Amino acid sequence: MRFSESRKPKARPERSRRAESRLFWLVCALAGCRSQFALPSVPGQSAGGVPCTAAAECASAACVEGICCFTPCAPDHTCARRDQPGRCVPREPGDKCAQAADCPTGFCTDGVCCGGACAGKCMTCRRPDRPGECVVEPDNSDDDKECGLCGACFGGECAPTRSGTDPNGMCGAGKVCGPDQRCGQPPGGECSRDEECGLGDCIAGRCRVTEPERVTVSPLTPSTIHRPRGIAAGRRGAFALLTTEAVVRDAYYVAQNDLLLVSRPPDGAWWGRRLADDPGVPPNLAGMFPAALLYLGESVLAVGYAIGASEEEPLSCGPRTLPCGVFATMVAPDGSRGRPESVFDSRSVGWLNLVPDGDGSAFAYVQDYTTVRAVHRERDSNGAFVWKASAHDAAFTPASMTWEPALLGGQPGVVLGDMDAEGDARLRLMDLKTGAERPLAVPDEACAPQIAGSSQGDAGETLVAILCDRQGIWLGTLRETATGEPAWTTVLVSDDAWYGAPAGVLHDAQGRAMPAVTLLAPSGLMGIDEIRLAWRLPDGRWQARQVFTAGGGRTPTHLDAEVGPDDVLGILVGSGLATGNDYVVPDQLDLVRVRY
């Protein structure tokens, strides 16, 4: 039968048709029908199986546990199953629930369908590996806050939580539990006193954790003397250590034997290499004493060392091996090395230092009996790497001389502390490019300055640690100015010298002066076994704290430090026991990390 235009049924409103459709499917769902057909979608609404936050977002008006259902589900069904999103299926143990009627087992515990009431302390039905089963909570967890502040479940019983965590969230505000079950700031959190730190100590305004680690790796030989020569921190978090290995003769004399390089990537194992294994390096390095270490670029290590003749080994260098002098070897992250590069020809090298030039290469500072010179690693016209000496040397009086490198405008310089012709103490800045010399003010009239360490920053700043005849420790700062004339200032750090001389002064990994400039002070005295770290407070005062104790009657004898990525301070400590003549034999290496 055909209808005329005037007799066609009137179209019902869209709202009415939508309501009737939903009513039909709701009655169907309550009656138990399980249609596989989805509700027709409506513009602005989602079909089944997609995330939702409210029923109005879904075509079925059913948003269950954040998922749109294809059809409304009965109370004991869910459509939020990961393997069947949007489909109404019977709830199983482990599925989310709001009441007992939602679950086929009749138990809704901890927000999931459970096989029983599971009412005991430290019991849960929410373990990811055993959903819906009533089992003990995983160690160091407390979802129901049953164990109280800084407590957690371990083996089904409440016990103190692991330090540095807050499993039940009762500390709040990003704090963590400490070993004494007290809430405090996590490592790196701001603080003004130790009591505010959950872990570590309040150092330079932040909670820092000190982590000592014994360095034991082949080819380091147990019970052999190890004298630390350097530490380097790579941009990717690796630390590398350089040490000489030696033997004692007659309890007095220390004979040089070998130079060892040990390194470890951030998440890997230590590896070690003997420099004598390199092609062309003599197997007996009796005269090989000064050495230095530096990372170039991302991960290449530059190892500098001097080979010189000695009274006992006059042929330790010569025609059949490397000649006497200073050499450098480049070491890749996997430990592979190239042939030694000749840095400087000399049979009498007293000290060696490697300093980054700020442009991906390095200066080698070489000291003999009366001079200090800088040698730069650069490419020649053929593209090969060569070492080119500075135009001028820094001459000094050897009787009481100390020195440290200083870069000014990327050019090599030296800060010298020695005596003038009249025997008066002095400080000088020597420009090794131009030969110019500038006097630097001595911190105190009564001070006979000994320069104990320096650090180069990216902003044209050199920090210099100065010891004044055990009267105190000073910090000198050398800065470039717009006129080209360097500015020199000094500040007193401590007037008691902390039992010994400062071992160094540091910038952070980005070449900036650290928020509080640090100095490391070894004791240097028998019976005093601690290493201290000093920092400057915002008001200009200085504080110091012990960060390492050798213990066991050991005395620290050697110390070096470097700051790596994320401002992790690495301190290399060599320590030993005193022999019968009070000579300390350093036979132990420790790497102390102070995490910033």
- pLDDT tens per residue, range 235-245: 667 788 888 77
Distance (Å, whole) CA 120 – CA 113: 16
Distance (Å, whole) CA 242 – CA 263: 9
Q: Could you report the per-residue pLDDT of 461-478, keeping only the tens digit for each?
A: 888 888 876 567 888 888
In this model, does residue 595 exceed pLDDT 60? Answer: yes
Strands 108-109 and 89-90: unpaired
**Looking at residue 31, what is its pLDDT?**
44
Burial (CB count within 10 angstroms: exposed 0-12, middle 13-18, buried 19+), residue 275: buried
pLDDT band of residue 379 (cuts 50, 70, 90) is: very high
In this model, does residue 142 exceed pLDDT 90? Answer: yes
> Among 42, 48, 36, 47, which Cα is nearest to 18's?
42
Residues 6+ apart with CB under 8 A from 48: 38, 39, 58, 59, 60, 67, 68, 69, 70, 71, 79, 85, 86, 87
pLDDT band of residue 581 (cuts 50, 70, 90) is: low
Distance (Å, whole) CA 311 – CA 512: 45
Angle subtended at Cα 204 by Cα 198 and Cα 209, rounded to the nearest 5 degrees: 40
pLDDT band of residue 153 (cuts 50, 70, 90) is: very high
Beta bridge pairs of residue 416 = 403, 428
From residue 121, give the alpha-carbon distance in Å to each of 94, 457, 529, 557: 19, 57, 47, 54
pLDDT band of residue 137 (cuts 50, 70, 90) is: very high
In this model, does residue 450 exceed pLDDT 80? Answer: yes
In this model, does residue 1 exceed pLDDT 50? Answer: no
SS (H, E, C) 534-578: EEECCCCCEEEEEEEECCCCCEEEEEEEEECHHHCEEEEEEEEEE
**What pTM does this model have?**
0.71
| Average pLDDT value for residue range 537-561 | 79
In this model, does residue 570 exceed pLDDT 80? Answer: yes
Residue 550 identity = A
